[in-house]
Structure 1
Amino acid sequence: MATENSFADNGTTCREHSQRWLSCNNLKHVSCVGLYGLLMYVVLGLFGVFSDLDSQPDNWETYGSLVTVILLTLRCLVVTPLLFSVFNFLGIVGFNLFPPKPRLQRSPLLGPFFCFRVVTRGLFPQLVKENIERNLAVCSNVDLQNFLFEVVTDCPIHLPKTSRVREVVVPPEYQTRQGTLFKARALQYSLDPEVNILSDDDWIVHLDEETLLTEDAVVGIINFVAEGRHDFGQGVILYSKGRVVNWLTTLADSVRVGIDYGSLRFTLKALHKPFFSWKGSFIVANAAAEKAVSFDHGPEASIAEDCYFSVVAFQKGYSFGWVEGEMYEKSTFTLKDFVQQRRRWMRGIYLTAQSQQLPWRYKAGPLLMSVSAFFMPLTALNIPLGFLLPITIPLYLNVVCGFITATFAFLFILGTIKSFSSRRYGVVGCGVLAVGSLLSSFPILLFEITASILAFWMSYDIEFYIVKKELEKKKYMPSIV
């Protein structure tokens, strides 16, 4: 239970403990950055940065003009995610990768009203009910008082009616002014004056059906709002807590955790803008700001409504910040769902990037992400061609390619380190999982390529694929470790 001592100075003993904890976390951070540097050195060596270029064969004489141009073009396409890699580098090096646990900066009894909003189709009612119960218990443990869980659903779930839970059913005939679809339609319905019960000073915390709160995340949200500097915020989501359903997709999602600590944290904490978009859950939003931005932007904004929303908020000049703490979700259970999930993200981000309603300067990040995803099948050819048809390329291009490769490899390692507890798996076990996440990147790349082909190279109807999120009741009892 949180008490006054939770947010007040507890004296010399607490300060000494914090100093020791901070020192330990700094040591972990320095060690991780050192590992990143070592990995960078090894990868640059594999890319031939330290080799004597003068002794290497001439491409034009070896392969002829046509093949050389093709090989050099494919190699140049690798640099498309360069800026994204730079932002990840800055987030990794510039901020502590092992921040101390957030401590309450003000009493949870004070402050604004929080609405934890879950939007669902209503296809997994038992999952929603169980997670609401778990999340209510977490809020109770932090002594949060001014809050409500609001479930916005297309199909009735029949949640127990309490003062802490509100179920909002979206009428089948409901249409927005711009014809917005899917999750964005439900989100907009919750903002309609006839439905909305929040004042402008209240705050909305967006969660997915499977999102589980932690006490650290709730504390981070309270502190973020109490700071009063930003209109929107977001934090880290982990995908490995509890029972792992699919090890391959879970290890693949470790890169998403690394990106949270890399580019997402840098853009929100240093730039205060969602340059490369953000996630659709663990969003902390001021109610007035969310209503002003709105989710009603038409069908093209309905596939990746989170990305489109962030660009509109960016354009309107709202400030974004970083929220300390972590929430938990599940990776996709099947590889089919993994491909369809990535396909939707790629297509939704592309629709945001090509939207005529958004100025180019605010959607540069989604545009770069779309270019990288579009050329992924071609850039992946560099892996086999590098062995079959090795070429000599300029030193600067080798350095860039090595930097990008090493950064993505480290994001897998970092995400694994942050996702899997050494207390549960042991130090050796975590090391094996880190290697496994790196190895998983190769088969996962094939599924990412499949998603790219489906999203860009084949016809795509406006649809919102729903991945399976609920196991059989006896199986779905994840422990939070």
Structure 2
Amino acid sequence: MLLTLPLSIFNFLGLALYNLYPGAPEFKGARVNDPLICFRVVTKGTCPDLVKRNVERNINICNGLGLSNFIFEIVTDRFIGLPRSPSVREIVVPFNYRTAKKTLFKARALQYCLEDSVNDLKDEDWIVHLDEETILTRGSVIGILNFIAKGTSSFGQGVITYANEEIVCWITTIFDLSRVGNDYGILRFCLKHFRKPLFSWKGSYVVSNVGAERNVSFDFGIHGSIAEDCFFGLMAWKKGYSFDFIEGEMWERSPFSLTDYVKQRRRWVQGITLTFFSKDIPFKQKVGISFSLLSWITMPLTASNSVLAFLYPLPMPIVFHFLCAFMGGVMMFLFIIGALKSFNYKRTGLCKFLLICMASVLLLPCFVITETCAVVYAFLTFSTIEFHTIKKECRPNDDNFMHGQHTICNV
């Protein structure tokens, strides 16, 4: 029951010690020579219209801020045919490309971009990693420029919210409110205070110095192919690089169905498990994810115990009750913070806004059950590791065609 206590403590510190409403980021200092920023999007190429729309939107955000020294690199398995432009480069990963360690999936594509024959960037340039549905905001671009100008860290990350675009599935969007709360809590505290990704590292809204990223690389083998983001963060920490938190949020969308949601979480559980058992990362760097992993593994017991403890209460020390109440309170507060930061009552209306805030707490048992199903599913199917790509457009997508980017592999 107390395995999630470290996560709760660090989330509480992040929410309590830092301003939750710092205001929109503004440029710090004079902008003389903006560094070259490469916004890198990795896609299978099965949603070309989505990629084209979002690239155009994101370019408009950059142009609106007077940004001139930037490029969007679209790394794809299938040729998309983006309009020719000095600010857009389309990179098609060859069918027969293999890394030295036979890395698969998204990590394989990211490693291809770092090859000497493909990479056009200099070591002092910067990469901003985005998913194909990620939308930049004015605040996030300003935050990135401020982070780069600060010059104290090689890697940075910020907050992603999931309710600013069209909401396809309300229940998964409400479930993802906890991720927003985690970004403002544990992620922000660890990156600001310790300058290390102690518990987590996401795969999008990642800002990397090119020289540092090439040194760390994405060629991790199969153990780093499923949760390549987590593996990369821990490897960069192992190599002594510094991290920081970036002000300003980006926008994405939650899975379009509970099936996609469960499969997404299943991949995370399997990927972090493989990361934990990798011999390439010392245990020092894996202490944080070990708590996350243990809390996942024991979630079926925790969920059932919550019911049994209510039906058949046992005498427990007061401190135990206090800690359990603290962990439950922090979890609820993560959802509430996620709702407050994701929705605006002026946009939704006050009644709907309050209903969403209440629903984020009332649906907490459903969230626990769904996460438990994902964990059980992950370990029942561990012999075949699946890199499930969730739907990003409101249309069927059943294409899994790339060798080396295929969906299932044996471990």
Q: Determine the structure 2 residue equivalent to 1:143.
A: 66
Task: Give the one of 256, 260, 283 matched to 2:183.
Answer: 260
Match status 1:208 vs 2:123: no
Give the 5 Å matches for 1:113-192.
Answer: 113-192=36-115
Deviations 1:214-242 (A, max 9, x none): 01100000011001011000000000012
Deviation sequence 1:180-202 (CA, Å, 0-9, x none): 00000000000000000000000
Correspondence list, 1:423-442, <5 A = 423-442=346-365
Partner of 1:365: 288
Paired with 1:458 and 1:148, the residues of 2 have a C-alpha distance of 40
Shift of 1:462: 2.6
Which of 355, 368, 371 in structure 1 is aligned with 2:278? 355
Partner of 1:391: 314
Match of 1:235 among 158, 166, 171: 158
2:253 alignment partner in structure 1: 330
Instruction: Structure 2: state its 5+ residue gaps.
Output: 397-411
Contact 2:165 2:252 (8 Å CA) reproduced: no
The alignment status of 1:446 with 2:363, answered yes or no, reads: no
After superposition, the C-alpha distances for 1:398-433 in whole angstroms (9 at most, x for unaligned) are: 111111111001000000000001211233332211
The Cα of 1:123 is off from its aligned counterpart by 1.2
- Which one-letter code corresponds to 2:292 in the other structure? M
Cα distance change of structure 1 residues 99 and 262 upon mapping to structure 2, 3 Å threshold: same
Letter paired with 1:377: P
2:21 to 88, 93, 98: 98
| Partner SS, residue 381 of structure 1 | helix
- Alignment deviations for residues 327-382 of structure 1 (CA, whole Å, 9 cap, x no partner): 00000000000000000011111111111111101111111111110110011012
Report the counterpart of residue 142 of structure 2 in structure 1. 219
Asked which structure has the greater CA Rg, the reply is: 1
1:378 counterpart (285, 301, 316): 301
Question: For residues 126 and 455 of structure 1, what CA distance do their matches in structure 2 show?
Answer: 32
Separation in 1 of the partners of 2:161 and 2:232?
Answer: 23
Name the structure 2 match of 1:319: 242
CA contact (8 A) 2:71 2:87 kept: yes
CA distance in 2, matches of 1:162, 1:99: 36
For the 8 Å contact 2:270–2:382, the answer to whether it is kept is no
Give, in whole Å, the separation in 2 of the partners of 1:234 and 1:108: 21
Distance in 1 between the 2:112 and 2:254 partners? 28
Alignment match, 2:122: 199
2:334 to 411, 414, 434: 411
Which residue of 1 is the match for residue 2 of structure 2? 79
User: Does the 8 A contact of 1:304 with 1:348 survive in 2?
Assistant: yes
Residue-pair matches, total: 396
Amino acid across the alignment from 1:277: S
The residue type equivalent to 2:220 in the other structure is H
Give yes or no for contact 1:273–1:314 (8 Å, CA) kept in 2.
yes
1:109–1:146 CA contact under 8 A, matched in 2: no
> What one-letter code is carried by the residue in structure 2 that aligns with 1:90?
L
Distance 1:276 1:143 in 2: 36
Higher helix share: 1
Asked if 1:401 corresponds to 2:324, the answer is yes
How far did residue 109 of structure 1 move?
5.7
CA distance in 1, matches of 2:31, 2:44: 32
Residue pair 1:315, 1:362 contacting (<8 A) in 2 also: yes
Aligned CA RMSD, in angstroms, stands at 1.2
Q: Please point out which of 166, 170, 174 is paired with 1:247.
A: 170
Unaligned runs of 5+ in 1: 1-77, 474-481
User: What SS does structure 1 have at the residue aligned with 2:363?
Assistant: helix
CA distance in 2, matches of 1:143, 1:201: 21
Q: Which residue does the alignment assign to 1:25? A: none
SS in structure 1 at match of 2:208: strand
Give the % identical residues.
Answer: 49
| Conserved 8 A contact 2:38-2:128 | yes
| CA deviation string 1:299-352 (max 9, x = no partner) | 110000000000001111100001000000000000000000000011111111
Inter-partner Cα distance in structure 2 for 1:116 and 1:242: 20
Distance, in Å, in 2 between the alignment partners of 1:351 and 1:242 is 33
**Shift of residue 388, structure 1, vs aligned partner:** 1.6
Displacement of 1:384 after TM fit? 1.5
With 100-109 and 113-122 compared, the bigger mean Cα shift is at 100-109
1:460 aligned onto 2:383: yes
Is the 8 Å Cα contact of residues 109 and 143 (structure 1) preserved in structure 2? no
Letter in 2 for 1:227: K
Distance 2:205 2:94 in 1: 26
Partner of 2:402: none
Tell me if structure 2 keeps the 8 A contact 1:108–1:143: no
Query: Which SS does the other structure have where 2:101 is aligned?
Result: coil
Cα distance in 2 between the residues matched to 1:193 and 1:106: 34
Q: After TM superposition, what 4+ stretches of structure 1 lie above 3 angstroms from structure 2? A: 106-109, 457-460
Q: Structure 1 stretch 396-405 or stretch 314-323: which is displaced more?
A: 396-405
For the Cα contact (< 8 Å) 2:270–2:385, is it kept in 1? no
